[in-house]
Amino acid sequence: MSAADQYLVERRALLARLRSALGPLARNRTAVLATGVVGLVLTFAGMLLTGGSGTIGTIMYVPWVALLAAELGPAAGALSGVAATCLYFAAAEAGGMPDGVLTLALRLAPLVGVGVAAGLSSRRITADALELQSTSALQRALLDSTVDGICLTDAAGNLVLANVPLQSYAVELGLPLHGTVPERLETIADRTTEPARFRERMRELGRDLAASEDEFELAESGRVFRGHTAPVCRADGTVVGRIWTLREVTADRRLERLRDAFVAAVSHELRTPLTSISGFVELLCDEEHELGPNGRRYVDVIRRSNNRLQQAVEDLLLVAEIEAERLELRPAPTDLAELATATVEAALPAAAENGIELRLDVTGRLPLEADEARLRQVLDNLVSNALKFTPSGGSVTLSARNGDGPLRVQVADTGIGIAQDELGLLFSRFYRASTATRRAIPGTGVGLVIARAIVEAHGGTISLQSAEGEGTRVTVTLPRAQAAGGTYR
């Protein structure tokens, strides 16, 4: 270390020691008042010893008057100014200096003014400080009472503040006390289930301040955490830091795994008896001529209920395949217009039974490369949903258009619609809109999940617009050709 560097280090250490020593004194009210009084007395004594103040005048008393006023307030500050003026004139009298009325006024006014101004300023500063302290304490209490661990870092990733839950997480995870937040998190990479991905992700967060969402699992304990980050910007858009949140979602993940395992087990177990029921129903249908009117009606009810239950089981199994990323496509040349026509023809009996007008709006051929069975499943789901949520007297329209870009399919209805605040949840597993649950409309809440997975596996998009009481419109876009592969990811 050079001599200059050593000097700077020693100087900083000295300043730190001075701040450490003088800080408690500055916060001690008795010490401050004693300093002010002693200062006035010593100044007066100095004037007596030197025989006056010369041209400096009362300025020597100003610091002590201001100090007392800042501690005691404007009224006491004014009295301090009067006392200082009296001391000044006592010393001036002893030194033979002029002491006329004008001189008294010229000496008194500044000291009293300093006392009042310093007192008012101190009161205002103290009030602002108390308000700021109260606001800061309230904000801190709010942050500490949240479930999520929250911290703020500067643009370089250095920790600025952290709430109590995050501090607890840091201790439990064994994070180091020094370094940027991404660097601290990177130290636990080897303890996660995906060390390489976790390490690379932390390095990306250290380079990029864009918003992010990640989830990681600890290999030994099985604890799962979800983290969010977002940039913190000034009003002019300048990024000054980043907010980090961390939440433990271990219980949620365990519940999801149990639910998935339960659904898969139940679905597989239901397949065998349903297959037997279907077989015996078919045998009864072959002997339908021997059954009376009631018997035929009973068989028809059994067949429809069995078909409905079989479809629900197949949907649940398909959702399990989607979650496991095992949805495979078998693309081949397909005519979307033929699929749309077949979908409408199959749904016409149900539409007529419920008094709903079902329309098809398709012109010409609509060739594309797609998995015909899966795409037909999408159209059937969308049309079936539209019919379920449209009351008698309404209408459902399936339309398809051949434009310059991707093919565009729409299913629009005049049904009960969906509340705006629920639109973002419709593509979640097993979620059912409140408008459906209030009317006890049957369903499993997986139709749109399946439709989205199949559409996205084809490289397309699906969107939904709805207004409660006005109807719903689902729009699907599909590319004409498929990329190599054909497996949903």
pLDDT digits (tens, 9 = 90+) for 240-270: 889 999 999 888 888 777 777 776 676 666 7
Task: Assign residue 213 the CATH number of its domain.
Answer: 3.30.450.20
Token code pair at residue 452: 């989205």
Q: Are residues 197 and 62 in the same domain?
A: no
Mean pLDDT of 426-430: 70
Q: What CA–CA distance (Å, rounded) separates 434 from 64?
A: 72
Q: Is residue 32 located within the same domain as residue 127?
A: yes
User: CA dist 82 to 11, 37, 65, 277, Å?
Assistant: 41, 13, 9, 107
Question: Do 64 and 189 lie in a common domain?
Answer: no
Amino acid type, 311: Q
> What is the extent of the structural domain holding 208?
149-248
In a domain, 431, yes or no: yes
- The token duo for 15 is 């300043």
Chain position carrying tokens 């021997």: 290
* Pair (89, 29) in one structural domain: yes
Contact 361, 397 (CB under 8 A): yes
140 and 233 inside one domain: no
Contact yes or no for 383/397 (Cβ under 8 A): no
Instruction: Kindly give, in sequence order, each residue whose CB lies less than 8 Å from that of residue 449, ignoring residues fewer than 6 positions away.
Output: 319, 322, 427, 428, 429
Which helix (H) or strand (E) is 466 found in, with range?
strand 461-467
185 pLDDT tier (thresholds 50, 70, 90)? very high
SS3 111: helix
Higher pLDDT, 393 or 26: 393
In a domain, 466, yes or no: yes
Query: Does residue 77 share a domain with residue 120?
Result: yes
Query: Do the Cβ atoms of 402 and 475 come closer than 8 Å?
Result: no
The answer to whether residue 197 sits within a structural domain is: yes
489 in any annotated domain: no
Asked if residue 217 has pLDDT above 70, the reply is yes
**Averaged pLDDT of the chain:** 77
Question: How many domains does the structure of the chain reveal?
Answer: 4
Rounded to whole angstroms, the Cα distance separating 153 from 231 reads: 10
What are the DSSP calls for 355-422, one per residue? T-EEEEE--S--EEEE-HHHHHHHHHHHHHHHHHTS-TT-EEEEEEE--SSSEEEEEEE-S----GGG
- List CB contacts of 426: < 8 A, sequence separation 6 or more: 418, 433, 448, 464
33, 129: one domain: yes
The rounded Cα 66 to chain-centroid distance in angstroms is 50
> Same domain, yes or no, for 306 and 436?
no
Kindly tell me if the per-residue pLDDT of 82 is higher than 80: no
Pairing of strands 159-162, 367-370: unpaired
- Choosing from 199, 219, 248, the residue where a domain stops is 248
Beta strand 357-361 pairing with 239-248: unpaired
Q: Is residue 485 part of a domain?
A: no
Helices (H) and strands (E) in the chain, counts: 14, 12
Q: How far is CA 137 from CA 53, 125, 129, 131, 132, in A?
A: 49, 18, 12, 10, 8
Which of 248, 270, 299 is where one domain is finished?
248
Mean pLDDT across the stretch 276-285? 76
CA 45 to the chain's CA centroid: 67
284, pLDDT greater than 80? no
Average pLDDT score over residue span 335-352 = 90
CB 111 within 8 A of CB 58: yes
Give the pLDDT confidence score for residue 97 in this predicted structure. 57
Domain holding 356: CATH number? 3.30.565.10
Q: What is the mean pLDDT of the segment spanning 446-474? A: 85
Dist CA 14 CA 283 (whole Å):
100
Residue 18 corresponds to which tokens in the numbers above?
């001075």
Q: How does strand 461-467 pair with strand 395-401?
A: unpaired
The pLDDT confidence band at residue 4, using thresholds 50, 70 and 90, is very low
CB-count exposure of residue 137 (10 Å: 0-12, 13-18, 19+): exposed
Q: Give dist(CA 400, CA 370) in Å, integer.
A: 15
Q: How far is CA 327 from the centre of its chain?
A: 31
Q: What percent of the chain has pLDDT over 70?
A: 72
Q: Which residue has the higher pLDDT, 378 or 316?
A: 378
In the block, residue with structure tokens 């339960």 = 262
Give per-residue pLDDT as tens, 390-414.
Answer: 888 999 999 988 867 788 899 998 8
- Residue 30 covered by a domain: yes
**Per-residue pLDDT at 275:** 75
Confidence of residue 124 (pLDDT cuts 50, 70, 90): confident
Contact indicator for 81, 34 with CB cutoff of 8 Å: no
pTM (predicted TM-score): 0.48
Q: Which residues pair with 152 in a beta bridge?
A: 161, 243
Q: Are 237 and 111 members of one domain? A: no
Strand residues in 234-351 grouped as ranges (E): 239-248, 332-335
Specify whether 66 is located in the same domain as 118.
yes
**Beta strands across the sheet bearing 212-217:** 159-162, 149-154, 239-248, 224-233, 212-217
Residue 487 lies in a domain: no
Based on the domain organization, do 230 and 121 belong to the same domain? no
Q: Which of 248, 280, 301 is the last residue of a domain?
A: 248
Q: Indicate whether 470 and 439 sit together in one domain.
A: yes
In a domain, 8, yes or no: yes
